[in-house]
């Protein structure tokens, strides 16, 4: 599970601009989730994981929207970079906590971005 995308980000992050990504190709990790009730340490872990993810090799950016359904897309240089983040020790702890306490359901999808366009 690529839980970094799953954690609810601070309001500042949720309202941030669209991620500035390089020209394709790159990888998108799409995390869709349904939360359980209550915080149970979620916000603190989310903040820590957001900071830690940005420090990882190959990290390109993140976009998130959370209401009843949470959707977070993180962007990575390649699958190797995304997979490496999945194995970081603190992230493994967060993933386990997510399965045990924070998510009623979730889905992770890995996609290759081949085209990226829009006003800049």
pTM, whole model, 2 decimals? Answer: 0.83
pLDDT of residue 17: 82
- Cβ atoms of 27 and 110 within 8 Å: the answer is yes
Domain boundaries, the chain: 3-14+23-113
Q: How confident is the model at residue 107 (pLDDT cuts 50, 70, 90)?
A: very high
Q: 48's torsion region: left (phi>0), alpha (psi -120 to 50) or beta?
A: alpha
CA atoms of 25 and 77, how far apart (whole Å): 8
Q: How confident is the model at residue 120 (pLDDT cuts 50, 70, 90)?
A: confident
Q: How confident is the model at residue 89 (pLDDT cuts 50, 70, 90)?
A: very high
Q: Is the pLDDT of residue 6 over 50?
A: no
Q: Is the pLDDT of residue 2 over 60?
A: no
- List CB contacts of 75: < 8 A, sequence separation 6 or more: 19, 21, 26, 27, 28, 29, 59, 60, 61, 62, 113
- Cβ atoms of 5 and 91 within 8 Å: the answer is no
CATH number of 3-14+23-113: 3.30.70.100
- The model's pLDDT over 32-78, given as tens digits with 9 standing for 90+, comes to 999 999 999 999 998 899 999 999 999 999 999 988 999 999 999 99
- Cβ atoms of 71 and 31 within 8 Å: the answer is yes
DSSP 8-state secondary structure symbol assigned to residue 10: P
Other C-beta atoms lying within 10 Å of the C-beta of residue 72 = 26
How does the average pLDDT of the chain come out, rounded? Answer: 88
- For tokens 């800049």, the residue is 120
- For tokens 């290759």, the residue is 112
């Amino acid at each position: 599970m690529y839980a970094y995308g799953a954690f609810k980000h601070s309001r500042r992050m949720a309202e941030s601009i669209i991620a500035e990504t390089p020209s394709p190709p790159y990888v998108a990790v799409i995390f869709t989730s349904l939360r359980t009730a209550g915080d149970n340490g979620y916000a603190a872990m989310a903040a820590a994981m957001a900071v830690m993810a940005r420090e990882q090799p190959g990290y390109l950016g993140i976009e998130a929207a959370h209401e009843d359904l949470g959707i977070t897309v993180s962007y990575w240089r390649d699958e190797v970079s995304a997979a490496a983040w999945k194995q970081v020790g603190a992230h493994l702890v967060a993933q386990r906590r997510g399965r045990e306490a924070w998510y009623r359901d979730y889905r992770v999808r890995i996609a290759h971005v081949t085209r990226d366009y829009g006003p800049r």
